[in-house]
Structure 1
Amino acid sequence: MDDSQREYQRMIRRHNCENKELQALIHSMKNSVPKSEKSRRKQLLLDVARLEAKLEQKHSQELEKFRDSNPEMSILETVTEDLAKMDLENKPPHLTRTQRRRERRAALEREHRERITGVELEHLAAFRRNEEEKLAVILGVKNLEMKDIRPDGHCMYRAIQDQLVYSVTVESLRNRTADYMQKHVDDFMPFFSDPETGDVYGRDDFLSYCNDIMCNASWGGQLELRALSHVLQTPIEVIQADSPVVVIGEEYTAKPLVLVYMRYTCNLGEHYNSVKPLEARAAPRLF
């Protein structure tokens, strides 16, 4: 691993630590405002959104600066550019040595969701409506509309499957993704770290990750999308409400597959949908 890759990994670890510290601060802020004070809780959500946006902008700028100063790292450059524009990472596949910790975290998250007040749910639902409205406009310009995909842990693969003109199973897509990643370990290892702590995983952990892709209903993310673009030799466009369209696999000339990445759907969580041609609607009668 050269100095540029080490510098990149150190930056990603720092970003993860800063994100963790911000979430701890947000948790403290929420605990300081009684749930009964609805106006303060509403302002709190706005303050939290501003803090998260500010940190996300800072990280994006640092990633962009790193890319500009390391033009020779072609693979790293394209992945960094994608990461700077959007956060495609859903929940990562479980790694064997962290299974217990992840299960504890999942239990805590379930407990937190159960404590969410009606006011908070109302605001989160508003975020979801706002996201859907923005996406409808973006897709409408492209003469497309959303096509719902079942939220079962396979949504990214099912959205890809829906876009293909030939028949392929989700199992096949998962197996081909994992196989490509296993055969190109060195291309993916610089970006393979614990999303919570930033700790760099080893080769055995990466192979275990690939095995989870094949064997479990693990959510797909940035690494898997990049692998799929190579497997299918097709660009993949990912549309978001508040970010430019990101194209993965721009080196290929086939017609892009189009996915929609949503932050606030699927029980107010992250999700991928497919798209379809916008249905022609009859003009309203004037009499």
Structure 2
Amino acid sequence: MDDKLHGDDTLSEVISENASQQQEETLEEMLSRHRKETNDLQNKETALKKAAAKGSKAEQKAKKKQVDEEVHRLSTKLKERQAEELASLGYNKSTDKQKGNLDNLVKAIAGVSVTTQPEQSKPSKSVKRREKRAQQEAAREQRIQEEQSQIVSDRMVEDEKLEKKLDPLGFIINEIKPDGHCLYRAVEDQLALHCGGASPYTFQELRQMVAAYMRKNVSEFLPFFLSENMVDGETQDSLAERFENYCREVESTAAWGGQLELGALTHCLKKPIMIFSGSFPDVEMGKEYKSGKGTGSSDSSIMLSYHRHAFGLGEHYNSVVPDSAQ
């Protein structure tokens, strides 16, 4: 494992592969490259963790520690360089221009020009939604740059808690690609495990099923949707439009899934879903579909792990499988 980690130049190239692009780079181009570099490192980490999940439990634990340490080192180095590059273009939290620079960062991520333009009329609702999503992405960029060491520390603590919880049950985590589809890919992995082969549904088909169920059962999901997306003075028509836009995002984008989507999944599949976490209490949904209750065709629970600090980019889900399945 030591030879694989330290002798493999591929992982180190994640940090340096785009160094030649730094000259004459705009802020938008730099942010795009930063996101690609971060995603490349995350994909490499996932691959290394899968490779480390072999051998005895003692060997797996040792390999996992090596992977965490190596990725921590590379991730810290990457974030430091990215922060320096952003500072070279004027984005520096220590200056009095932080707010203006952060506004520019938000606009750049949203695809809006950062050049000065004449004041225009009140922005439309679609522009407001786009700017809100851009603000969320900008906040993630800022957290990555300013809190990476703490995030990595929290991740290690979270992983240790999960391991202590799953090990006595004979379960381990099967790493899922962090591409925004992780919830649906994890469920797809679970369905394949239950079937002993290929899953009856792809992650994209699961997205479509969830969106269709939410549209059909609006009253069941609307209160929870409003609790997270409240807008003052909104009409019923505009609310219905926003909920439909949300369903379209679930159906056809890489929008992350959460509690609403988990609730829909358990009803679509008629299976209970168990979510293990190292940061929050475990949650079980769809208990009515357990053996002897409801009309479910199977009482095999879908088992997922929820990670608050997996990559520093937001929520992440993995598939929880029996140790013997690896």
TM over 0.5: yes
Q: Does 1:105 align with 2:125?
A: no
Moved over 4 A (4+): 196-201
Number of aligned residues: 186
Pairing of 1:38-77 with structure 2 (within 5 A): none
In the TM superposition, what whole-angstrom CA distance separates every residue of 1:206-245 from its partner, at most 9, and x where no partner exists?
A: 1221111111111101011000100000000011114332
Structure 2 counterpart of 1:188, one-letter code: F
Worse-matched range after superposition: 229-238 or 207-216: 207-216
Does structure 1 residue 173 correspond to structure 2 residue 206?
A: yes
Equivalent pair of 2:151/2:312 in contact (CA under 8 Å): no
Instruction: Output aligned runs, 1:137-152, within 5 Å.
Output: 137-152=164-179
Shift of 1:194: 6.4
Identify if the C-alpha distance between structure 1 residues 178 and 96 changes in structure 2 by more than 3 Å, giving closer, same or farther.
Answer: farther
| CA separation of 1:190 and 1:174: change in aligned 2, threshold 3 A | same
- Structure 1 residues 114 and 218: CA distance shift in structure 2, 3 A: closer
Shift of 1:100: 2.7
| Aligned-partner SS, 2:317 | strand
SS of 1:138 mapped into structure 2: helix
- Aligned equivalent of 1:247: 284
Query: 1:255: how far off?
Result: 1.6
2:158 partner amino acid = E
Deviation at 1:196, TM superposition (A): 6.6
Question: Where do 5+ consecutive residues of structure 1 fail to align?
Answer: 1-33, 36-94, 282-287
Q: Is the 8 A contact 1:159 1:259 kept in 2?
A: yes
Q: Contact between 2:144 and 2:312, CA under 8 Å: does it hold in 1?
A: no
State whether residues 96 and 208 of structure 1, in contact with CA within 8 Å, keep that contact through their aligned partners in structure 2: no
Taking only the aligned residue pairs, the percentage that are identical comes to 38
Q: CA RMSD in A?
A: 2.7
**Counterparts of 1:138 and 1:209, CA distance in 2:** 34
Q: TM-score, normalised by structure 2?
A: 0.52
Contact 1:236–1:249 (CA under 8 A) maintained in structure 2: yes
Does the CA contact (< 8 Å) of 1:144 and 1:277 recur in 2? yes
Matches of 1:197 and 1:190, distance apart in 2 = 10
1:209 to 235, 240, 246: 246
Higher RCO by CA contacts (8 Å cutoff, separation 6 or greater):
1
Structure 2 unaligned regions, length at least 5: 1-92, 95-124, 291-298
Counterpart in the other structure of 2:11: none
Matched, 1:257 2:290: no
- After superposition, what is the alpha-carbon deviation per residue over 1:190-209, rounded to whole angstroms, capped at 9, x for unaligned? 11126376757712211221
Radius of gyration: which is bigger? 2
How far apart, CA to CA, are the structure 2 residues paired with 1:198 and 1:129? 37
Q: Mean Cα displacement is larger for which, 270-279 or 200-209?
A: 200-209
CA distance in 2, matches of 1:143, 1:111: 37
Q: 2:159 aligns with which of 119, 122, 132?
A: 132
Cα 1:189/1:110, change in 2 over 3 Å: closer
SS in 1 for 2:315: strand
Decide whether the 8 Å contact of 2:143 with 2:312 is kept in 1: no
Does the aligned pair in 2 maintain the 1:174–1:213 contact within 8 Å? yes
Match of 1:16 in 2: none
